[in-house]
Structure 1
Amino acid sequence: MKSIKIVIALLVFATALSAKAAPLLNGLALEQQFNKDRYIAAVYSDTLGTSASVLLDNNTTRRLEVRIVADSLSARRFRNQWMEGIAINNPGDTLSSQAENMVTFANLFEGRLVKGDHLTVDFTAASGTTQVALNGVALGKIQNRDFFNTLLRAWIGPVPPSSDFRDGLLAAGQVPAGLLGSYEGLEPTSERVAAVTAQIAQVEEEPVAEEQVAAEKPQPTKPKLAAEIPPPSLAAIGSKPELKTQAPAAKPEPSKPQPAKVAAAKPSAPPQDSEEEEEFEAPLTADLILARQIYHSMLLRHTFKYIRYPKRAQERGQEGSVRLNVTIDSRGQVKDVQTLQESRFATLNREAREAVERAGPYPAAPPQLARDTYRFSVPITFRLPD
């Protein structure tokens, strides 16, 4: 009897430990732009896996973590890149249902992120809550069981920032020692933690005007997505780019922007660097976010029609991912193309840029997004069939 009691006690103790244990590191991925390291992304999960389906299990406690490598990083541009990934890796009904939650999430990001910062997004399976924090200081939370997967698909969905980025996160715990060492070595300074803590405390103490409270009441209806998301950006083997024809652009119905609830977290902002000048941005609303996502998916579909897999690259077994930053004017004319991330092969890099140039002019922006210039990123994957 005594031995049975001991076994039961050990089982209870082990269960208590496992209940409190943090999720395991599934994989790491280094994000680079213009050949400069920007941040290291991590995915943690109670269940390790090499497939997206394992990590997208809503019954599993998980965490996304970003540790900043760059000396200074625009929080808003980091957020916008994430939002683009959300747009092209989630179905239309998901984007519509999560529009208000995306507004709350997007408004957490202001100012600058600096080297050593830890941005964490924790999902608790028991409650279905997603909690966001910076350097251990809570920024806000979203009570929706499906929202975490909306974020995660941007990293491990069919069109990730790059194939290497997704593969690094889907490593089932087998991470490179060098990258792990760099990741673990990134820590915020005590001064930075104190500054973030003070900034958030100040925001939370600010009185809220009665007009603002009234404006923050949720609207009875949610905006609907008027366009579907494009297929993965795999270059078609043996295909020829489409002839230069300008198809009429489907535009989302213009709607009156609705005020959105602004989350409390606003990290302190170090001095801006010349490489990432801030641009004016209208206050985010659910309608505006959906308009961006619709338009971005439209621009990608348009680009994908002009991509071909170079014959020489096929013969040599060359594969890789290229990510471009494209700037167009109000008429859809291509004004600038920058390579954010390139493959190891010049042939693939050149074809990606030429595909964008062939695709011009692009569909004009909808009224909500009308401006002199519009910038968007294009992830292109060249992969041979197995």
Structure 2
Amino acid sequence: MICSVGLHLFLAVVIPNIRIEPPKKPAILTIELVKKVEPEPTPEPAPQLEPEPVKPEPLKPKIIPKPVVKSPTPPVEVQEDPAPIAPPPPSQPEVIAVTPKPDAPPSPKPVAPPAPPKEIVPTQAEVDDANSRYGNTLWSAISKYKKYPRIAQQRGWQGEVVVELTLDGNGKLKSKQILQSSGYESLDNQALEMVEKALPFPSPPEALRGSNFTIRVPIPFKLEP
């Protein structure tokens, strides 16, 4: 036991002073291969060609012009003028009788259509006058059918009925109504019955023919004493 402890103390004292160096790496030897450069071959000199001998130009023959020989001119024959030929007598033109055609009658000139007549608008005074005159005409036509109701006579009923009539421009009745009552139904109904019996009415004046118009016709009912 004591020996073991002593050994540990010896190692503890001795070992710290011992330096252990790491192993060194071996040196690496590098070998570089260099390719041998061969010298370029020297080109052989080109053979020199001998110049060709110059051939002499051949001699051109001289051209000698031929002499010009003139051909003899043939004699010209003179011809005599032929005798003039008399022209044939002129032929007379054929005369053809042409019968003249009668002249066509002139086409009638287009006639413009007549202008439409201008519409004459009557004045208000003319309308009022025509309304008054036509009202009298209707009163005369309606009065022909006047009849006094028996019950009104027995009871002494009297009065005046004003009937308003609406007519067109030709005098045709469009409507009728009691504008003013007499106060008795029998007299009012008798007035309307008289209007129906007087149809158709005479034609209205020119001033009333443009449009619809109204006429007021008074119908009196009075008992004679």
- For the aligned pair, the TM-score class normalised by the smaller chain equals 0.3 to 0.5
User: What is the TM-score normalised by the length of structure 2?
Assistant: 0.43
User: What is the TM-score normalised by the length of structure 1?
Assistant: 0.26
Task: Select the structure that is richer in helix.
Answer: 1
Task: Select the structure that is richer in strand.
Answer: 1
Rg: which structure is higher? Answer: 2
